[in-house]
């Protein structure tokens, strides 16, 4: 057998063996070394919530303007939320 092929096979075998040992050593533990256990929860600020509510009200107002132009009844924000949750 070619010496280069032997070296390649030994290196591949050692890499597989190392991966198996690493997997067994960290079995049952989450990926702490990657920071998975240290995530901060993001809480929306009051300003963000107000902006989202303002955006929703503006979108419903635009929708109602189009509906009035077509002669259809107006919708409320609650109607829009219910329709969105239904889909």
Is the pLDDT at 8 greater than 80? The verdict is yes
Scanning the structure block, which residue is given the tokens 């009844």? 73
Note whether 79 and 56 are within 8 A (CB): no
pLDDT surpassing 80 at residue 7: yes
Please check whether residue 48 lies inside any domain of the structure: yes
Ramachandran angles phi, psi of 83, nearest 5°:
-65, -40
Please name the residue that has the structure tokens 């991966």.
Answer: 19
Higher pLDDT, 68 or 39: 68
Q: Is residue 36 part of a domain?
A: no
Using an 8 Å Cβ cutoff, are 69 and 62 in contact?
A: no
Provide long-range contacts, Cβ within 8 A and 24+ apart, for 11-17: none
- Residue 56 falls within a domain, yes or no? yes
Higher confidence at residue 9 or residue 26?
Answer: 9
Residue 34 pLDDT level (bands cut at 50, 70, 90) = low
**Is residue 57 domain-resident?**
yes
Is it the case that residue 10 has pLDDT exceeding 70?
A: yes
pLDDT, position 58: 92
Number of domains in the chain: 1
Residue keyed to tokens 């890499």? 15
- Does residue 67 lie in a domain region? yes
Q: Find tokens 């924000």 and name the residue.
A: 77
Structural domain span for residue 64: 3-27+44-86
Q: pLDDT of 46-71, one tens digit each?
A: 788 888 889 988 999 999 999 999 99
Whether 64 is in a domain gets the answer yes
């Amino acid at each position: 057998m070619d010496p280069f092929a032997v070296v390649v096979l030994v290196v591949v075998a050692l890499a597989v063996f190392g991966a198996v040992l690493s997997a067994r050593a960290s079995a049952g533990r989450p990926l702490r070394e990657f920071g998975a256990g240290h995530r901060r929860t993001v809480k929306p600020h009051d300003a963000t919530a107000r902006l989202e509510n303002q955006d929703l009200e503006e979108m419903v107002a635009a929708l109602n303007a189009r509906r009035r132009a077509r002669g259809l009844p107006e919708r409320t924000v609650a109607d829009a939320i219910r329709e969105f949750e239904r889909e």
